[in-house]
Amino acid sequence: MRPRFVGLAISQLLLISNTAPAQKDSASHAAYEPRSARVWIVPVAITAAVVLDPEVRELALREHSRSLDHLSESVNPLGTARVLVPALALSYVTARLIHDGSLSVGTVNTAAAYAAADLVESVLKPIIGRERPHVEGNSRRFHPFTTKGDWHSFPSAHVAHIASIAEAILAQTHSTPISVISGTVVAVVGWDRLYEDQHWSSDVVATIALSSSVSGATVRWLQRRNRSPTNTVARSPVPISY
């Protein structure tokens, strides 16, 4: 296996995927720092990816091997609905069977975040109409408002799916080990999309940022809604007078 391209791509994607973990509702300094870092890291990462689109694609095409082909085949399903949706359903059913209310609510929140990010991704694809790299290898070709798949490079559905789930989990666990694992999975799925020549590096980086933002906002909205007085305070019985 040739590790150079894998290491380069995953390092770049880990950088952006780890700038978007949702924070607790707190004004503490620890919660502020990641948000402040995101203000400049995300635009810089996307800009760098846009500039390096041709070079990253060339490297990806040059570094193909049988071992990496097998890795790509194993990683690809992790960004598909046929794997992720049943996994969410199984998580919810398990939570209900073991009477784990926290896991049950968390799974519902994650599913909602996934659906929101998937909706945004589905709407933007035909509107933006960016040509996939394997067509003519030109990262600056666009055909807005088209239904043809060759012009649906941005956003990446695979990356949107896995990034939204990873962000939703982070938003509810606030765990460093889970953050590392989730970021790595997102980065590997992003690498697969570059390796298969389906998306530009800027597609992947921007999709991570976009889907993480949508997912995190969805989870925070649901958490605020669940904590609202109308949902947490039981109604007292109304006395009946005769």
pLDDT, tens only, 126-161? 999 999 999 999 999 999 999 999 999 999 999 999
Indicate the DSSP class of residue 240: -
- Would you say 67 and 1 are in contact if contact means Cβ atoms under 8 Å apart? yes
Question: Under 8 Å CB-to-CB from 226, ≥6 apart: which residues?
Answer: 105, 232
| pTM (two decimals) | 0.82
Query: What pLDDT does residue 157 have?
Result: 98
pLDDT, tens only, 62-112? 989 999 999 999 999 999 999 999 999 999 999 999 999 999 999 999 999
Return d(Cα 146, Cα 213) in angstroms, integer: 26
Measured between alpha carbons, how far is residue 169 from residues 91, 218, 221 in Å? 12, 12, 14
Calculate ∠ Cα 79-84-89, nearest 5°. 175
Q: Where are the domains of the chain?
A: 3-13+35-52+78-229
Which residue from 178, 195, 157 is spatially nearest to 22, judged by alpha carbons? Answer: 178
